[in-house]
Structure 1
Amino acid sequence: MSETETSTNEKPGRRRPPLAVALVAAAVLAAGGGTYLAVAQPGGGGVDTASRTGVPADGRGGGPALSPSPGGTAPGIAPGEPDPSGGERYRVAGALPKAPGTAYAYREQGKVTAADAARLAKALGFAGTPVKGPIGWRVGPQQDGSGPTLTVYETGDWRYEARGLTTDDCPKGKRCEAEPTDRPVSDEAARRAAAPLVEALGLTGAEVTTSTQGPLRLVTADPRVGGLPTRLWETVFTVDAGGGVAVAEGRLATLVRGDAYPVISAEQAVRELNATVRADWPRGGTGGCASPVPLDGAGAQTTDRTGADPSGPCEPRTDLPKPAKEPVTTIRTAVLGLSASAGRTGAALVPSWLFEGERDGRAHRFSYPAVPLERLFPEAGSSQLHVEPYTPRDLRLRVSFTGGACNPYLVRVQETATQVRLRLFEIPGGPRVMCPAIALPVDATVTLAEPVGDRAVVDAVTGRQVPRGRAAG
């Protein structure tokens, strides 16, 4: 793959995932049927078109177009083709690669040691020995606070700062930093600035891309592990407007090959991407619903400016504009690789489909687990799903639950003669991504192969009947 300039999907001000490998040379380089997916509007906007996948739960299959939905509903949609109603958000342009039967995950071996920190410091050109502190090891800066610093955390993350502590005071006899500009250096200049560190860290075989963040240009090196490309395990070099590497961040780890997992097809991954839903953020603010109840001068409860009792239930506003239709991502390429895992397998890197394409006219890179979600989360707890009232004739069930603010969710349904079994999955993002700890309502709609009838609707994890009514938001 050529090293082309690409834009990341990180937003300014959001902390990037703890980045990358420093010394991946230490890695060992070696090479159920009846499952359907729910397709729903992101943010709980209702059903679009929910169809049978016709693909086993492990996802391996020839990948034909989806079969028509039962019960006379709208016909199914081929994988990657957007639903005309706007619910599907990923379109495939071209052929997708075939999946192997299995692929290996990789795990970290042992904890970071003082010797590991010393080797990294030497690779980065430090003469001194890192000193152990309460959270890791540190070397530099000089006694006057100038010069580079390196911090290696016990977690394995590390951070290099080329200029040590910054200050707006220019000591006599010291060279002050040039005035910053609002224009980043060119792609070529940024790559040239990062090249010595890329080589020193053993990342010469990594895929290198660049992106901009204000006056800064980020050079990202995604290493290969076990012969496969990686995502969310990168080393990132921040090149300032003066053309120098101001900061580098990565991850120091020894990787060894772990378990082999079945691999879902790229088509199945696109189907699941188009079936995910996200939390419904409150639109138009919270009004008085999240505020303390105001009191009058005598300490009595008052009404708000609209005349409503603030202690009463929060009713959603209906006078707000509807959210804009989500953009469609056009997938140009897909390759099987490895991505940092937030699952419960104990692996650091799990097989993943690495996609590249465009969204809103800009390059877009993202990944999705190639491991069946049941294997990625083998010990998932109760999903705390609720199902809205339904009749025995219904083919669709509206499901609600409370979710987090960052990652998407997918609801699967498995049908037997006596049960409709629902299971909720939270699609993992990168490790340790900063995310607000807030509970938000999420809605999805599942489509059944047969009407509910007298079958019990149960949580597939706990076996308990799913309660009727909406989940608390």
Structure 2
Amino acid sequence: MRGADLTRLHPRPRPSSAGGAGEWCALVSWVRAGFRVRVETGSPGGEPDRVVWRQRSVSSAKEWVGMSMKIRVFAGVAGEGLLVAGCGGNGDGGSAPAGSVAASESPPGIAPGEPDPHGVRYRVAGALPKGPEKAGVYGVDGSVSRGAAERLARALGVPGGVRAEGGEWRGDGLTVARQAPGAWSYVAEGGKCTRGKGCSAPGETEAREAARPVLTALGLAGAEVGADEVQGTSRVVEADPEVDGLPTDGWSTRLRLASGGEVVGGTGRLHVPRTATGDRYPVRSAADALAALNEGAGKDGTAVPVSRARFGLAARTREGHPVLVPAWLFSVPSQSATLAQTAIDERHLGSGEPRHPGGPSSAGPGATSRSVPPVSYAVAGRELSLRFTGGVCARYRAHAEEKGGQVRVRLSEEKEPGKVCVMIAKDLTRSVTLDRPLGDRTVVTTAGKTVPAA
């Protein structure tokens, strides 16, 4: 039986509490002889600066689980299972999160700490909700006015207003795309915490209260808000807008608040679609969407509970433009995630909805690589962020070549063939640092096709 060389999969790597850098959540491969663990050290959003492989026998792995890791079943194939492991060092001991499949909760006939070789099946207790017979796609056209960009700047506390530079509005640390929906990013110089003072991240309640005026100014007073993510001495408040009475996934505004409650960073889209445009399409049932989510898993796979199923909207792309499409949103507590399954036939979305389901995200022996088309871009200083649709398991990298008045970009996808992965497409972003700010240069693909600003 062979093992697999696997790397990061968790959508939100968690650094240690010591600061911005730390030990990332890693993926564990299971073989009959034990566990092989890849642990990465680095800063969130960047490439690892140190990679350590740790081999553990079954007995010592279980001991390690009890001491410093939370393990739950994520996916699997016959004879080989995949586990997602949350790295230790966050001060909460070795207890597994509520609703997770921990080592002590193995299904009958499977040793503690070992995954179910039949895979994972998402299951809902009770009746699934009913959705509408038909639903439309929500989009937003046009441009972002100076007034709208300045309202955002005032809400964030950016001094001096904004100025037009190429296809963007720019302020002190703030960049807003002038093309709707107005993707924006903000990075402040830093919070009030002085070096060596030992500041800690604000609490959830404090962060929510500090973010409330900003969210209200952005028209997100009624949004669904979460504040459980900590990045060093900052806490992230994430707001998902409600559109036409429906919850959304992937159209989030994220604010990073320092220990004093001041906003020191953020990203989002300035305009939120409010009405459906064009045709209305037949909606598949929640049961059909759940069945599609479980494609490829064995009938006897480990049951992963879905705590909630809602009909809503998920961010996707159509004809190169960000849109919100009808979707079923499944809340999975054990994975700390919402899985969005498109509720209409994806042929209605055209070529703007490419599917790139990847294998595990390591470029190990036999790994294959291909290019993925970027949908749009955003810039903040010298950082160029490429947005695209990809799978949850593959590893993606952004590349840029600067020549004259153009910046040629490429997104590479690396995956190992023959590996099982949940068939979910997500809107993703990968960044690359340019030699100088983009300015009025054009962003194009290697084939010469212009990439639009987000």
TM-score for both structures, normalised by structure 2:
0.51
Corresponding residue number in structure 1 for 2:13 = 11
244 and 345 in structure 1: CA distance in 2 versus 1, 3 angstrom threshold: closer
Corresponding residue number in structure 1 for 2:276 = 257
The answer as to whether partners of 1:118 and 1:130 remain within 8 angstroms in 2 is yes
Match of 2:344 among 371, 374, 384: 371
Mapped partners of 1:204, 1:382: distance in 2: 34
381 and 250 in structure 1: CA distance in 2 versus 1, 3 angstrom threshold: closer
Corresponding residue number in structure 2 for 1:108 = 140
Provide the alpha-carbon RMSD of the alignment.
4.3
Query: Is 1:210 aligned to residue 210 of structure 2?
Result: no
Mapped partners of 1:108, 1:430: distance in 2: 25
Q: Give CA deviations for 1:229-276 in whole Å, capped at 9, x if unaligned.
A: 111101111122343322122112253421322211111111111115
The answer as to whether partners of 1:207 and 1:222 remain within 8 angstroms in 2 is yes
Mapped partners of 2:319, 2:368: distance in 1: 21
Q: What is the 5 A alignment of 1:441-456? A: 441-443=416-418
Mapped partners of 2:330, 2:206: distance in 1: 27
What percent identity do the matched residue pairs reach?
33
188 and 380 in structure 1: CA distance in 2 versus 1, 3 angstrom threshold: closer
Shift of 1:337: 0.8
Mapped partners of 1:165, 1:107: distance in 2: 34
Query: Is 1:329 aligned to residue 290 of structure 2?
Result: no
Secondary structure of 2:209 counterpart: helix
331 and 201 in structure 1: CA distance in 2 versus 1, 3 angstrom threshold: same
Stretches of structure 1 that go unaligned for 5 or more consecutive residues are 1-7, 17-40, 49-82, 141-148, 168-174, 278-325, 384-400, 407-426, 446-473
Stretches of structure 2 that go unaligned for 5 or more consecutive residues are 1-9, 15-42, 47-73, 82-114, 357-366, 373-387, 398-411, 421-454
Q: What is the 5 A alignment of 1:81-100? A: 85-100=117-132
The answer as to whether partners of 2:315 and 2:324 remain within 8 angstroms in 1 is yes
The answer as to whether partners of 2:246 and 2:311 remain within 8 angstroms in 1 is yes
Corresponding residue number in structure 2 for 1:283 = none
The answer as to whether partners of 2:251 and 2:269 remain within 8 angstroms in 1 is yes
Aligned residue type for 2:262: G
Shift of 1:376: 3.4
Secondary structure of 2:247 counterpart: strand
The answer as to whether partners of 1:183 and 1:214 remain within 8 angstroms in 2 is no
The answer as to whether partners of 1:342 and 1:429 remain within 8 angstroms in 2 is no
179 and 245 in structure 1: CA distance in 2 versus 1, 3 angstrom threshold: farther
Q: Give CA deviations for 1:77-122 in whole Å, capped at 9, x if unaligned.
A: xxxxxx9742233122332111211112111111334343234334
Secondary structure of 1:275 counterpart: coil
Corresponding residue number in structure 1 for 2:331 = 356
Secondary structure of 2:206 counterpart: helix
Mapped partners of 1:380, 1:203: distance in 2: 27
Q: Give CA deviations for 1:25-55 in whole Å, capped at 9, x if unaligned.
A: xxxxxxxxxxxxxxxx96876999xxxxxxx
The answer as to whether partners of 1:43 and 1:442 remain within 8 angstroms in 2 is no
Secondary structure of 1:341 counterpart: strand
Instruction: Report the structure, 1 or 2, having the larger strand content.
Output: 2
Aligned residue type for 2:336: A
Q: Could you say which structure has the larger radius of gyration?
A: 1
Corresponding residue number in structure 2 for 1:184 = 201
The answer as to whether partners of 2:184 and 2:270 remain within 8 angstroms in 1 is yes
Q: Give CA deviations for 1:271-306 in whole Å, capped at 9, x if unaligned.
A: 1111159xxxxxxxxxxxxxxxxxxxxxxxxxxxxx
- How many residues align? The count is 276
Aligned residue type for 2:290: V
42 and 94 in structure 1: CA distance in 2 versus 1, 3 angstrom threshold: same
The answer as to whether partners of 1:158 and 1:251 remain within 8 angstroms in 2 is yes
Secondary structure of 1:96 counterpart: coil
Mapped partners of 1:98, 1:86: distance in 2: 30
Aligned residue type for 1:160: Y
Mapped partners of 1:350, 1:208: distance in 2: 21
230 and 254 in structure 1: CA distance in 2 versus 1, 3 angstrom threshold: closer
121 and 439 in structure 1: CA distance in 2 versus 1, 3 angstrom threshold: closer
Match of 1:435 among 392, 396, 404: 396
Shift of 1:329: 3.4
The answer as to whether partners of 1:353 and 1:369 remain within 8 angstroms in 2 is yes
Match of 2:313 among 338, 345, 350: 338
Match of 1:268 among 288, 293, 316: 288
Corresponding residue number in structure 1 for 2:3 = none
* Higher relative contact order structure (alpha carbons within 8 Å, sequence separation ≥ 6): 1
136 and 271 in structure 1: CA distance in 2 versus 1, 3 angstrom threshold: same
367 and 266 in structure 1: CA distance in 2 versus 1, 3 angstrom threshold: same
Corresponding residue number in structure 2 for 1:160 = 186
The answer as to whether partners of 1:189 and 1:243 remain within 8 angstroms in 2 is yes
Aligned residue type for 2:314: S
Query: Is 1:231 aligned to residue 249 of structure 2?
Result: yes
Q: What is the 5 A alignment of 1:299-310? A: none
Mapped partners of 2:315, 2:354: distance in 1: 22
177 and 380 in structure 1: CA distance in 2 versus 1, 3 angstrom threshold: closer
Secondary structure of 1:165 counterpart: coil
Shift of 1:435: 2.5
TM-score for both structures, normalised by structure 1:
0.49
Greater CA deviation, 346-355 or 113-122? Answer: 113-122
The answer as to whether partners of 1:103 and 1:263 remain within 8 angstroms in 2 is yes
Q: Give CA deviations for 1:350-402 in whole Å, capped at 9, x if unaligned.
A: 0111121322xx6332311112233334688999xxxxxxxxxxxxxxxxx96
Mapped partners of 1:347, 1:249: distance in 2: 15
